[in-house]
A and B are shown apart, each in its own frame.
Chain A
Amino acid sequence: LNAVPGRAPRQHVRFLPAPGDDGAPGLVAARVPVLADHPLVRGPRFRRLKIGAGHRLDVKASGVFVLGIGHGNKLLTDLYNCHLTKVYTVGGLLGKATDDFSDTGNLVEKTTFDHITREKLERILAVIQGTNHKALLMHSNIDMKTQEAYELAVKGLIRPMGKSPPIITAIRCLQFALPEFQLEIHCLHETQQYLRKIVHEIGLELKSSAVCTQVRRIRDGVFTLDDALLRTQWNLQSIQNAIWDCQLKVKTELEKTLG
């Protein structure tokens, strides 16, 4: 960033002593650059960058992670207050139960899983979705007896706009091949450990046990995997392009939600 040529130094008019006519010392007006703007005096333009992080992503998970630079940190708080849903791809493995719900933990129990079919899993997922939908309506702090609550519920726009426990708005099974399965989860206010706990609880409901092998965030509010930069793309040009592309999306979303 500092290698980019900065703005040109300011110019001002100074009366410099210079040999005038007839050899007598006189003053000549000359436009010279201000010494205070000299790069060696000013130093590098950027010494520190304020970078803020969006929603947390823990060490064992991967995926979209939103960062704000400089003035973008203010947009980060606004995006947090929008309470948009995040989408995760969660991979699970049946037959094992560990103490930290992931496959790298200490083994607690091994169980059989040949009685599990995709149909049973989908039934459990439907119930999880149902109870979480109920929790969504209850934590949104709207009085259920009003007409506007009914209208928002019909459109599906009821959402908790304050603090609430983790809520799953939608969950479905993408792949099912014993002993592995993959789920797509849309959620609010969650942590990745909570998603691992959900995988463990699904295993318990199916009268077996399950551990979580993979947690990958696909979408965080308006940012999807297509907008995300890979490790090889962590250079100035791609970052600048990414910021430029996202600006419009973020602005429209903020206006729509916060008014």
Chain B
Amino acid sequence: EAAAMWWALRAVRRPPPAFRRGLAKPARPRSVRQLREAEEAAPVFQYAGKAAKRKDRVFVWGFCYSGALGVPSFVKPDVGWKKPRRIQPTPYRLETEEKISSAACGYGFTLLSSNTADITKVWGMGLNKDSQLGFQRSIRDRTKGYEYVLEPSPVPLPLEKPQETRVLQVSCGRAHSLILTDSEGVFTMGNNSYGQCGRKVVEDETYSESHLIHQLKEFDSRVVQVVCGQDHSLFRTKKGAVYACGWGADGQTGLGHYNITSVPTKLRGDIAGVNIIQVSSYGDCCLAVSDEGDVFGWGNSEYLQLASVTETTQVNVPRHLPFKIGKIKEAACGGTGNIVLTEEGNVFVWGYGILGKGPNLIETAVPEMIPPSLFGWSDFNPDIRVAHVRCGLSQFAALTNRGELFVWGKNLRGCLGTGRMEDQYFPWRVTVPGEVVDVACGVDHMVSMVKSFT
């Protein structure tokens, strides 16, 4: 009876059928049909739209303590335990507010300029002991200026129409800089002890914390290119004439004498009447390329740069360099070596130092060609050509048409950007995450303008 009672109680406590759960199916590997349906139902993510534009970026590398790289945390880290970084051996991205169209590296300072119509068109960073970056007002003391600028700071230009004029190009020398605009001539700032700023030399002038920015407008036609040598300046006008001012003890002004020139004067010699399409200089030697592919040189020739025409070590009148290497498209001058690029895309070097053909070639007066296979040319890639050549003080840089950057020369304080501290005796690729559009070489740092891939 107890059992019957127990069974009756159990019968009452059984839940009604409506609440009963069906047996859940155990987990099984999903069938092909289920996988396909899950795949089709998955959401699609969009990372870049159809009209996505390629971004413009600036990469810097080299010696950091001068502030020329524009990254303050390299010199003064924001965290207490980090140490200041002396050298940046590989390309580092620099954030800029606008798209930078032209950059120039001087001796421990950098100028970046943009083609914008905004009020701030030029930014400067690095050494400012001779006001080569203009007057940078100090925040702590409003009457004094900064001697070192660690971040890209706007350079105040005395423009008449600041919202219409556009800055085309900048160039930097040892302690002075030139800014070229499209309608208001050339602005010069910095050291003027040799007249390189194009104004009369004032004795015992203090150049640091100076507000003076000189404007040059008197040329035969519009200036289209400005180039700074170590202590002299060159201007190329639209008509193909070249003007020079500054120090001339090595004949780098090309005016026929070895004195200082403080007013831009037109060059004569073998250049008179020739339409020059490009001028280049960085140390004390200068090269000019004409529209017919001839190259002219003047200035210092202690390192056999002009030894093909003369034995003297200083040439103060432009001389035609009779090289039989083909029509020359572009030339670049370094401190001790020169480099030219011909129409076929071949690169020729001459001068003294690490020229790029191995450790055995130290100096040559006649241009030697660098084999194109070192720039990536091979049977697999037959249409790689060098598009531009640039020179630093003892380094060379070449840009190919695929956007690759090759550097070689003395690796002074990591300026080559290869990641190693050793000198590079033949062209070596620099790994930059993007297509390199232009590069500016300085003494111990370099700046490159890069377009991202997608």
Interface residues of A (CB under 8 A from B): 95, 107, 109-112, 114-116, 120, 123-124, 126-127, 129-131, 133-134, 137, 144-147, 149-151, 153-156, 170, 172, 186, 205-208
Contacts and interface: CB of A to CB of B under 8 A. Distances in A.
A115 B49 contact: yes
B312 to A, nearest CB: 32
A226 to B, nearest CB: 20
Contacts of A150: 357-359, 425-426
Contacts of A147: 358-360
B143 interface: no
Interface string B47-64: 111111000000000000
B429 A130 contact: yes
B81 interface: no
Given A112-B44, A115-B51, A207-B48, 9 more contacts: A107-B42, A126-B403, A130-B376, A130-B429, A133-B376, A144-B424, A146-B359, A147-B358, A205-B454
Contacts of B435: 123
Nearest to B372: A154
Interface of B: 38-39, 42-52, 357-360, 371, 373-374, 376, 378, 380-381, 402-404, 422-426, 428-429, 431, 435, 453-454
Given A114-B50, A115-B50, A145-B359, A134 B454 contact: no
Nearest to B44: A110
A125 to B, nearest CB: 10
A110 B373 CA distance: 41
Contacts of A146: 358-359
A115 B454 contact: yes
Given A147-B359, A207-B454, A110 B429 contact: no
- Which interface residue of B429, B431, B454 has the most chain A CB atoms within 10 A? B454
Contacts of B378: 156, 170
Given A109-B45, A153-B426, A154-B371, A206 B454 contact: yes
A208 B47 contact: yes
B374 A153 contact: yes
Contacts of B358: 146-147, 149-151
B196 to A, nearest CB: 38
Contacts of B423: 145
Contacts of B373: 153-156
Contacts of A130: 376, 404, 429, 431
15 contacts: A107-B42, A110-B43, A111-B46, A111-B47, A114-B50, A115-B50, A130-B404, A134-B429, A147-B358, A147-B359, A149-B358, A153-B373, A153-B426, A154-B371, A170-B380
